[in-house]
Structure 1
């Protein structure tokens, strides 16, 4: 996978959960800690909590067991219960890069039988330049975006 000029690189996943869109949205955003792999702590301390401030412009960050905070990005769009867009601002070295914006869009679409389809699109990975392919491989791995989304299903059970 290369980062050719003008070519968008994106990870796309979807899953159906036995919840209303409102409940699925709440679980995904307010309880992200429970679906985030704890071994993927980005801060200097063990992961205690993943926080998504529930508003446009809000922070998206990790709180460590020692109380330290490590920013991951911010909330670009907050439209419950149908959609949230988070800006992932961590570079390929897993450090905050305020100049880097990749988009994690999650939509919550009502389905028959009281279910909701969650679709996650992590867009603009080409912005990682020479690291785009390697970064895509991390996010596309079983423990990457797929793992986060499937852990959300376990929360729903």
Structure 2
């Protein structure tokens, strides 16, 4: 009798934008402030900037209008312009948790010249334990990753 493995829980979303693969990657990784929903701040202060440091091990965080910083996670894989994997380390209580790691993988595929498909997978939501279903519902909701990618597409147009 072996132990049963917990099935992986993930949210998948995608969007196509009228940008080259290089510009789409840059939009997602260097201009997140422009499309991140401001109501998704986990800091006490309003978001002034969302930062992804462009290297493996780089920080992913928000900077508040008051100068405070709130860590969201870090860069696990950095493969411009085709792929980035970010570790989302925000617990179900919406606070940074260095012991929690879920993965936000985004791939960038050129569909035609000047059109790129972004595919986002937020993996390992089962790591939220008894909060996994609730967190899945949040990330899968219209205000979750789908809405965030819709905002990105609006910025890209």
Q: What residue in structure 1 maps to residue 64 of structure 2?
A: 64
Q: Is the Cα contact below 8 Å between 2:20 and 2:113 reproduced in 1? A: no
| Equivalent residue runs for 1:6-25 within 5 Å | 6-25=6-25
1:29-52, CA deviations, whole angstroms, 9 ceiling, x for partnerless residues? Answer: 100011110011101111111100
Query: Displacement of 1:154 after TM fit?
Result: 0.8
**3-state SS in 2 of match to 1:90:** coil
| Equivalent residue runs for 1:123-138 within 5 Å | 123-138=123-138
Take 1:37 and 1:114, find their aligned partners in 2: how far apart are those partners? 26
Take 2:112 and 2:66, find their aligned partners in 1: how far apart are those partners? 44
Take 2:31 and 2:154, find their aligned partners in 1: how far apart are those partners? 12
Give TM-score, length-normalised by structure 2: 0.95
Between Structure 1 and Structure 2, how many residues are aligned?
A: 154
Take 2:138 and 2:156, find their aligned partners in 1: how far apart are those partners? 25
Give TM-score, length-normalised by structure 1: 0.95
Take 2:141 and 2:64, find their aligned partners in 1: how far apart are those partners? 24
Q: What residue in structure 1 maps to residue 144 of structure 2?
A: 144
Q: What residue in structure 1 maps to residue 97 of structure 2?
A: 97
Moved >2 Å (runs of 4+): none
| Equivalent residue runs for 1:27-38 within 5 Å | 27-38=27-38
Query: Displacement of 1:5 after TM fit?
Result: 4.2
Take 1:101 and 1:113, find their aligned partners in 2: how far apart are those partners? 35
Take 2:127 and 2:12, find their aligned partners in 1: how far apart are those partners? 17
Take 1:96 and 1:43, find their aligned partners in 2: how far apart are those partners? 10
Question: Which stretches in structure 2 are left out of the alignment for 5+ residues?
Answer: none
1:22-69, CA deviations, whole angstroms, 9 ceiling, x for partnerless residues? Answer: 000000110001111001110111111110001110000010010000
Query: Displacement of 1:6 after TM fit?
Result: 2.1
Question: Which stretches in structure 1 are left out of the alignment for 5+ residues?
Answer: none
Take 1:30 and 1:114, find their aligned partners in 2: how far apart are those partners? 19
